[in-house]
Structure 1
Amino acid sequence: MWKFNPRALHYLNEVARQGSLRKAATRLNIDVSAISRQLSQLEEDLGLPVGHRSGQGFALTEAGEELISLYRQQKASEEAARSRIEALQQLRRGRVTLAVGEGFIADLISAPLQNFMQRYPDIAITVEMAGANEAVRLIKEDMVDLALVYAPLPDPDLESHVSSCQPLELITPPGHPLIGAGPLDIHRVLDYPLALIDQQFGMGQLTRLVEQLEHIRFNPQLKTNSVAVLKNFVLSGMGLTFMPRLTVNDEVRAGKIICLPAPHPVFASAKAHIISHKGRELTVASERLLRHLHDGMLFFS
């Protein structure tokens, strides 16, 4: 039975993340030769190469990928066990790192996160802003514990703990000609100025899918990576966009924005998720925050 050197696995993990031995050595503040020796010994023990160096950097072999997966699972399990032991000792300290799409922020910050921090003052929370694609990358590289994502692409490496249907609706300024004009068809939207978010976001991926299914092409007057910019595009009366209703809830209540039903079945079936890396054990702090967000956020309750 193999017993791998934890230091060698740690070095291999950092090389994989940084893309080269030199960058990993800089990150770890050690000599490149130290990493090279550990990887060579690892390959000798394994009887297989764990990676290949080239002008483009360091590429893992299939064996190297297996070792990285093992290492990350071990680290996650150690962290989960440590957290549970602390809980058994009636200690509340811990930390949770959360990747969050911009559209969730208002709902997250309003009460759920505030209430959680008041209840568990010794649990440190880190919130990373990230679109769907970036949030998935952070989850899969075990850089964050949980992610709040909208309409992520299917991925066998992800586990969805909570999901809820949150249609991508047509957002218009008051008085727009499409209001009260009968059932919406996606082709009618093409006749009006439109703002769209980048395809690194779940909303952007949905619009791209609709283009492919309907053989149409949106020609937005504005493209952005900011939910706030989309919202202000509509608030200023410049045109339309697609967003979940809860993202503009305050503006809808104030009568500054009108939400019209999702103009396509793909938009109507969109879901919001709280995800983690499949197979990674959550810490006690992460599990508590997950339950709290499920119960407290409008997106999920």
Structure 2
Amino acid sequence: MWQVDPTSLRLFIAVCEEGTIARASEREFIAPSAVSKRIADIEDGFHTPLLIRSQRGVTPTPAGEALLRHARQIMRDIERLHAELGEYADGVRGHVRMLANVSSMVEFLPEELTSFLQQNPGIQVDLEERISPDVVRSVSEGNADLGICRSYVATGDLETIPYRADHLAVVVNADHPLAASHKLCFEDTLDYDQLGLSSTASLHTLMTRLAAEKGRSLRIRTHVSTIDGAYRLIQAGLGLAILPIEAVGRYAEMYGLRVIPLRDAWATGQFVICVRNANSLSLAARKLLDHLLARVPTPSSPTPSLP
């Protein structure tokens, strides 16, 4: 059985990405014959061909595709190992890469992360905002340790841990025909112009499907890239938006908006924390995960007040 060799894995990745051994050898500054020998050694070790060779170049076999996937992950892990140990030498006692959807960034993560870093000054946390599907993709590919997304987003083989409750509401300005309502169904909103918010793309996909099931479609008046921009457009009367109650918070009063809870069952959901394997998290990532879960409000905690 072939013994894992990072140099050979790096060369195999280069060959697959470049499509020829010649270009891979130029990229890696090594003789083509040496690259060919490394690939042949891997094939001999696994007793299976990894590349389909032709006059036009090479393409991976199914076994080669499997090796390529694992090789990329191994090389990422090696890079992380060097980076993490280097940080220890610099006095940092851990490094966590975390991605979160926009709602969690607006609602609660700043406070949670601040308290964690105050308690763990030696741990570095890199936090980036992504839409929920991109959070899942990055965690799946090993580019992030932890991810926060909504429970209705498909997470594939990732492990998911229930996190915080998520309540959706209709947000309108004070002059909107729905402003006097106390509770609404999603179907009640379909007769009115809505704002498309790119940061809630997965929610938009869900609402489009639900509208289609009723033989309707969303009346998207305009698209906006940020929640703050959405508040301004709602205030100006350009349409309504369906957003998490917790994300609106103090902004409703600031912009003079009405927040009306949706009473559809699907409108009360949950954020989840997704990981590839909770048991293989670094100590720093595990500490952050435990910190987030320990600070989840109890079911008896009051729901956010509405204007």
CA positional deviation for 1:32:
8.8
User: What is the match of residue 167 of structure 1?
Assistant: 167
Task: Measure, in 1, the Cα distance between the counterparts of 2:200 and 2:51.
Answer: 29
Between the aligned partners of 1:58 and 1:134, the Cα distance in structure 2 is 31
Cα 1:206–1:143 change in 2 (3 A) is same
Deviation of 1:109 (Å): 5.1
Opposite residue 125 of structure 2, the aligned amino acid is I
Question: 1-side partners of 2:150 and 2:70: how far apart?
Answer: 29
Q: Match for residue 293 of structure 1?
A: 292
Q: For 1:89-238, list aligned pairs within 5 A.
A: 93-108=93-108, 110-181=110-181, 184-198=184-198, 201-238=201-238
Deviations 1:33-54 (A, max 9, x none): 4666534432332233445689
Partners of 2:100 and 2:149 within 8 A in 1: yes
Indicate the structure (1 or 2) with the bigger Cα radius of gyration: 2
Contact 1:11–1:35 at 8 Å: present in 2 too?
yes
Q: Report the aligned-residue RMSD.
A: 4.1
Secondary structure in 2 aligned to 1:216? coil
Measure, in 1, the Cα distance between the counterparts of 2:121 and 2:5.
37
- Scaled by the length of structure 2, the TM-score of the pair is 0.75
Distance in structure 2 (CA, Å) of the matches to 1:231 and 1:255:
7
Q: Could you tell me which residue of structure 2 aligns to residue 248 of structure 1?
A: 248
Maintained 8 Å contact 1:197/1:203: no
Cα distance in 1, alignment partners of residues 53 and 243 from structure 2: 44
Q: Report the CA distance between 1:213 and its aligned residue.
A: 2.5
Task: Give, in whole Å, the separation in 2 of the partners of 1:299 and 1:244.
Answer: 18
Distance 1:167 1:108, change over 3 A: closer
| Residue pair 1:165, 1:272 contacting (<8 A) in 2 also | yes
Rate the CA distance shift 1:106–1:261 in 2: closer, same or farther, 3 A.
Answer: closer
1:291 is aligned with what amino acid?
Answer: D
Is there any run of 5+ residues in structure 2 with no aligned partner, and where? 302-307
Q: Where does residue 257 of structure 1 map in the other structure?
A: 257
95-104 or 224-233, which deviates more: 224-233
Structure 1 Cα separation of the partners of residues 210 and 58 of structure 2: 38
Contact in 2 for aligned 1:149/1:272 (Cα 8 Å):
yes
- Superposed displacement of residue 115, structure 1: 1.6
The match for 1:275 is 274
TM-score normalised by the chain length of structure 1: 0.76
Q: Distance in 2 between matches of 1:173 and 1:245?
A: 15
Amino acid in the other structure paired with 2:211: E
Rounded to whole Å, the distance in 1 between the matches of 2:298 and 2:135 is: 17
Preserved contact between residue 21 and residue 35 of structure 1 (Cα < 8 Å): no
Secondary structure of the structure 2 residue equivalent to 1:221: strand
Letter in 2 for 1:244: P
Identical positions, percent: 21
Report the Cα distance in structure 1 between the residues aligned to 2:209 and 2:117, rounded to whole angstroms: 39
1:149: how far off? 1.2
Q: Provide, for residues 116-146 of structure 1, a one-character-per-residue CA deviation record: whole Å limited to 9, x for no partner.
A: 1122222111122211121112111101111
For 2:48, the equivalent position in structure 1 comes to: 48
For residues 98 and 53 of structure 1, the distance between their equivalents in structure 2, rounded to whole angstroms, comes to 40
Cα distance change on mapping 1:38 and 1:203 into 2, 3 Å: farther
Single out whichever of 60-69 and 184-193 deviates more from structure 2: 60-69
Counterpart of 2:288 in structure 1: which amino acid? L
Structure 1, unaligned stretches of length 5 or more? none
Q: Which amino acid aligns with 1:94?
A: G
Deviates more, 1:34-43 or 1:169-178: 34-43
